[in-house]
Amino acid sequence: MHTEQFSYHRAESVKHAVELLETSDDARILAGGQGLIPLMKKRELTPDALVDITQIDELRGIERTDDTIRIGGLSTHREIADSALLKETAPVVPRTVAHITGGQQVHNVATIGGNIARAHPGYDYEGALLSTGSQIVVSGPAGKQRVPVSEFVRGPCSTTLAETQLVTSIEIPVLSGDRRGGYAKKKEPASGNAIVGVATDLLFDDDQSTLVKSARIAVNGLQGCAVRLDATENRLEGKQLTPDRLEAAADDASSSLDSSAVLDNKKASAEYRLCLLEPQVQKSIRQAVGERTLYSQT
């Protein structure tokens, strides 16, 4: 298979990348290439130019700055899954990445920036970023901008990103306390993409506590964009977590959803996606809760 011809430009800095994007009508950013190259090989995408951003050092690294964790846009799935900092401060993110398929070969090169920029409804990051209240940091001719994930993704494979902009980093607010994460996913067997993926971000005081200080749960794959499960969150937030409450919260998962927006396609009918939601929500929350002992209310 051969892609069409294109010219290749290696950007040295974010500024340079933006300039390169501005000079071509139909330029695309090349990061890990795991989303882009297969499409170009099928000649479904035929950009005139590719701007390779992988040499830009400022897009790398995962670090803590005051009250946010900054994940450089070029961070690979592998780096994120292995990040001790993320496991500590936003565990839902590495937990999610563990469910991304394609094997280590994909994890070694595919990036978080490319994943969120492609905004494919079967991709996994969006739910985790939504649940953690992350901002997508975007740079373009007009400078830097922070866009909440919920605004960044407009629909299936569609974002607010302009053609001359790039994702430079993702910022996750740090919460103080014992933050726990879980991710449960029903895969489509061929592509490995999500039919339903549930990301759970829970905050407790410490690793014994069962009082849920905050609960943010988002589902991807279910609709064109990831959505928060408000009803489930409300059943948990500020409450003592009990087995009954956990189940009731999962049972309620679809009650705050617009069921007409649920995807209905060959991978799964809308009905079936909704059927999978409750058990996946349970699994995800349980993973986040982990070993702590839950007592039944009497």
Partner 1 sequence: MTPNHSDSGIGSSVSRKEDRKVLLGGSKGVDDIPLSDALHIQFIRSEKAHATFTVDATNARDVSGVVAVYTPDDIKQSETTTPNPFTLFSAPMEGVPYPDDSLRQRSFAEDKVHYHGEIIGMVVAETQRIARDALDEITIEYDIIEPVVTPQEATADDAAAIHESVPDNVAFEGGQGDRDLTDEQFENAAYTVELEKDAQRVSPTPLEPRAAIGQYDEATEHLDIIATTQIPHAYRRLLAQMLEHPENKIDVTVPDMGGGFGARQHPYPADVLVGWCAVDLERTVKWRSTRTENQLVENDGRGYEGTWEIALSEQGDILAVRADIRYDLGAWIARGAASLAEAGNLLMTGLYDIPAAYSHVTGIVTNTARIDAYRGVSATPMLMMLERLVSKVAKKAGMDPAAVRKRNFVDPDQFPYQTAGGAKYDSGDYERNFDIGLDELDYSSLRERQEQLREEGRYIGIGISCWTEVAGLGPCGHIDVATWGYGGVQVHPTGEVTVYAGSSNHGQGHETSLGQVASHELGVPLDSVTVVENSTKEVTEGVGTYASRTAALTGGAVAKSCRKIVRKGGKVAAHETGVTPDVIEFDDGTYYPIDSPEDAVTFSEVARQVHMGADIPEEMEPGLEEQTYYDPENCTWPFGTHMVVVEVDPDTGEYDIDQYVATEDCGVQINPAIVEGQIVGGIAQGLGQALYEEVEYADDGTHLSAPLRDETLGSSGGYTVPKAEHMPDITIKSTTTPSPHTPHGAKGMGESGTVAAPGAIVNAIEDAIEPFDIDPMTPPITPEKVWMAINREGKE
Partner 2 sequence: MTVEKEEVTVTVNGESHVVSVEPRELLSQTLRERMGCTEINIGCESAICGACTVQSDGKSVKSCTRFTVQADGADIRTVSDLADEGTLTDIQQAFTDEHALQCGYCTPGIVMAVDEYLDHNTDPSREEIRNEALQGNLCRCTGYENIVDAVETAAEKLD
Residue ranges binding ligand FAD (CB under 6 A): 28-36, 53, 73, 100-102, 106, 110-111, 113-115, 117-118, 123-125, 161, 166-167, 192-193
Q: From partner 1, partner 2, ligand FAD, none, which one binds at residue 166 (CB under 5 to 8 Å depending on kind)?
A: ligand FAD
Angle at 103 between CA 97 and CA 107, to 5 degrees: 50
Q: What does the buried/exposed string (b/e) look like for 79-103 if buried means 16 or more CB atoms within 10 Å of the residue's CB?
A: bbbebeebeebbbbbbbbbebbeee
* Number of residues in contact with partner 1 under rule CB under 8 A: 29
- Residue 292's Cβ-count burial label (10 Å; 0-12, 13-18, 19+) is middle
Q: From partner 2, partner 1, ligand FAD, none, which one binds at residue 145 (CB under 5 to 8 Å depending on kind)?
A: none
Q: Does 54 bind partner 2 (CB under 8 A)?
A: yes
Tell me whether residue 192 or residue 279 sits nearer to partner 2 (CB atom): 192
Least distance between partner 1 and beta carbon 236 (Å) = 22
Q: Does 25 bind partner 2 (CB under 8 A)?
A: no
Residues in 148-207 that interact with partner 1 by CB under 8 A: 156-157, 188-193
Structure tokens at 127: 């739910």
What count of Cα atoms within 13 Å lies in the side-chain half-sphere of residue 117? 29
- CB within 8 Å of 87: residues ≥ 6 apart: 94
Nearest to 217 by CA among 253, 251, 270, 192: 253
What count of Cα atoms within 13 Å lies in the side-chain half-sphere of residue 260? 0
Least distance between ligand FAD and beta carbon 294 (Å) = 31
- CB within 8 Å of 275: residues ≥ 6 apart: none
Question: Using CB under 8 A, which of 105, 208, 260, 296 touches partner 2?
Answer: 105
Binding mask 15-54 vs partner 1 (x if CB under 8 A, - otherwise)?
--------------------x--xx--xx-----------
Tell me whether residue 192 or residue 279 sits nearer to ligand FAD (CB atom): 192
Least distance between ligand FAD and beta carbon 136 (Å) = 9
